[in-house]
Structure 1
Amino acid sequence: MEEKLMIETDYQQMNGIALAYMGDAIYEVYVRQHLLAKGMTKPTKLHHRATHYVSAKAQAFLIEKMLEQELLEKEELDYFKRGRNAKSYTSAKNTSVVTYRISTGFEALFGYLYLSGQKERLDYLAQWCIETVEREGK
């Protein structure tokens, strides 16, 4: 089923919000797997800890670090910008509009990588993000 989804979904034609919708879920799965692997099992603690990785502020911080380290390929940067520049009809909760838009770009990048079948790259960036959050304490 998973492979079929990637083949039939034309990610190149998707707008940034649709890519971010998928990317949000994909990144969340990586974070949840990581927290469970660390032995966390209490739902309240899991949710609280997960927000350190998946909040708009954390995602904007991670993109900033990726850009500083020139970690993204040109096409990845294009998909980040597609998400960042997309018109969203939902508003930011507990953060600025700019931070919210940058985090939407982050999620669009993850959606693009997933839907284009770039699992190895997705694994690498997700792990990089998790390690960066843990190292930088964001």
Structure 2
Amino acid sequence: MEIGMTETVDLKETKEMNPLLLAYLGDAIYELFIRYHLVKRSDIRPKEVHDEAIRFVAAPAQARGVRAVEEQLTDEEWEVLKRGRNAKSGGVPKSAKPSEYRYATGLETLVAHWYLTGQTERLTEMMKRMIQVLEEGEDNGE
């Protein structure tokens, strides 16, 4: 899936952005990928999409997904992820451990970075891999 975009920013610009604002944008992009993935599946009913999506977009799932691909991240990507992971945010949802929530925020920051810098192939590749890992985890009872 490729999300349409009219303008990109350079790495310097994303480094100067507030990581929590990047995470806010990345959260929406991540959820769009998940919704698209679920909608294109033929085995899901429209009323089930929301419930299915929650299993992918909740902080524990995002943390599992990013940990599964962390060895494939470049040094630059790790830097972006760490900026988001270490950003001071408000409270942590009851459904997540603080470490899971921080990793999820780091992932969302990285997703926005890929999107804003025009790295749509990398974004798509990594999202596909994370979705695959999360679906395999569901099959294994995780």
TM-score (ref. length: structure 2): 0.86
Q: How many residues are matched?
A: 134
Matched-pair identity in %: 37
2:47 is the alignment partner of 1:63: no
Partners of 2:94 and 2:81 lie apart in 1 by 20
Alignment of 1:50 onto 2:53: yes
Runs of 4+ in 1 over 3 A off after TM superposition: none
Matches within 5 A, 1:69-88: 70-88=71-89
In structure 2, what is the equivalent of residue 113 of structure 1?
114
TM-score in terms of structure 1 length:
0.88
Q: How far apart, in 1, do the equivalents of 2:24 and 2:135 lie?
A: 25
For the Cα contact (< 8 Å) 2:60–2:104, is it kept in 1? Answer: yes
Distance in 2 (alpha carbons) for counterparts of 1:134 and 1:126: 12
Correspondence 1:100 to 2:104: no
Q: Report the counterpart of residue 32 of structure 1 in structure 2.
A: 35
> 2: CA distance between counterparts of 1:78 and 1:24?
18
Q: Secondary structure at the match of 1:87?
A: coil
- The one-letter amino acid of 2:107's match is F
User: Does the aligned pair in 2 maintain the 1:15–1:82 contact within 8 Å?
Assistant: no
> Which consecutive unaligned segments of at least 5 residues does structure 1 have?
none
Provide the rounded CA distance (Å) in 1 between the counterparts of 2:120 and 2:62: 20
The structure-2 alpha-carbon separation of the partners of 1:28 and 1:133, relative to structure 1 and needing over 3 Å to count, comes to same
Query: How far off its partner does 1:93 sit?
Result: 3.4
Question: Displacement, 1:17?
Answer: 0.6
